[in-house]
Amino acid sequence: MADPPEGTTSEADEEIMGATYRALQEYGYADLTVRRIADEYGKSTAAVHYHYDTKDDLLAAFLDYLLARFVDAIHEVETTDPERRLDLLLDKLLVDPEGHRDLLVAMLEMRSQAPYKERFQERFDQNDEYVRYVLRTVVDDGIDRGVFADVDSDHVSRALMTIVDGARTRAAVQPEGADPGALATARRTADEYVDAVLLRDD
């Protein structure tokens, strides 16, 4: 990656990430080209390659960008009440993606390539570890405060991520306008799971 003049990187990167997002939504991963990203960016392919040598470099950076956006979204969850906090985190994971089916399709394509592309694998692993950490932390806090049952918080975080990943896969491949939608089903399932496992009286 070339070294652009100080002060312009961040803005150009942000614009290219936005262009990548739109191009992925429009064409999906398999038909994505640097040409199409450049068209969305409104500049030449050379202008894109100035920042990213290859399409895979760009897509690895895009996965980092999505992870950073998700971290920001998590920081918006300001409540420290464990039950309420877990509820809002599950909304971020299972309600906010509603209406972004094209992105879910593109992400599923990229994730299916992770076993073949180490840089994709690293990003998806990092994302998964981060989200599980956030979930485990709120569960542990709830246990410490006596509002959640004394559960295996590592398992609970993995169980909830299983529901989240099931929702992502199912929402990507379900027919348009499916009722009930995959995300709504998963949100309800996560609630039932939390009620049963964390909020049980014992």
* Residues near a second copy (CB under 8 A): 28, 30, 105, 108-109, 111-116, 121, 124-125, 155, 158-159, 161-170, 172-173, 175, 180, 182, 185-186, 188-189, 192-193, 195-197, 200
* Least CB distance to a second copy at residue 192 (A): 6
* Least CB distance to a second copy at residue 116 (A): 7
* Least CB distance to a second copy at residue 32 (A): 13
Burial of 83 by CB count in 10 Å (0-12 exposed, 13-18 middle, 19+ buried)? middle
Closer of 65 and 124 to a second copy (Cβ): 124
Closer of 12 and 161 to a second copy (Cβ): 161
Closer of 12 and 149 to a second copy (Cβ): 149
* Least CB distance to a second copy at residue 112 (A): 4
Closer of 48 and 135 to a second copy (Cβ): 135
Question: How far apart (Å, rounded) are the C-alpha atoms in residues 152 and 109?
Answer: 32
* Least CB distance to a second copy at residue 189 (A): 4
Long-range contacts at 104-113 (CB < 8 A, ≥ 24 apart):
104/168, 104/171, 104/172, 105/28, 105/172, 105/173, 106/24, 106/25, 106/28, 106/29, 106/32, 107/168, 107/172, 108/168, 108/169, 108/172, 108/173, 109/28, 109/29, 109/30, 110/29, 110/59, 110/63, 113/29
Computed on alpha carbons and rounded to an integer, the radius of gyration of the chain in Å comes to 19
Closer of 37 and 198 to a second copy (Cβ): 198
